[in-house]
Amino acid sequence: MIEVFLVTGMLIATTILICLYRAVFGPGAFNRVAAASVIGTKTVVLVVIVGYIFERPGAFVDIALLYAILNFLGTLIFAKYLERGEVCSA
């Protein structure tokens, strides 16, 4: 099965590369933030797959959970900042 995990990981990395085009060239801040968020959610799955490749999924699933929560918070904070021009009103 390790070949399957390797191929799946490489294909997910390819989709990340496709989304990287929007993060670098995409017109405006919104496209870049959306690209960052999408790359983050894809990375969560990639981390889990890498855990299975290294045959230590237990540790890597914890990292993936933490990364998912951080990515969600980051997306919300970026959206709020772009909407209001400030993250936290005094």
Partner 1 sequence: MFSLDLIVNGVTVALFVIGLFFMFSGAIGFLRFPDFYTRLHATGKCDTLGEILIIVGLIIYDGLSPLSAKLLFLSFFMLLANPAGTHAMMRAAYVTGVRPWKRGEARQ
CB of 90 to partner 1, least distance (A): 21
Tokens encoding 27: 């017109």
Cα separation, 8 vs 23, in Å, equals: 23
Which residues lie below 8 Å from residue 63, measured CB to CB, with a gap of 6+? Answer: 47, 51
Tokens encoding 36: 């960052």
Nearer to partner 1, 54 or 82 (CB): 82
**Residue written as token pair 């995409």:** 26
Interface contacts to partner 1, rule CB under 8 A: 1, 4, 8, 11-12, 15, 18-19, 21-22, 27-28, 30-31, 33-35, 37-38, 41-42, 44-45, 48-49, 52, 57-58, 61-62, 64-65, 68-69, 72, 75-76, 78-80, 82-83
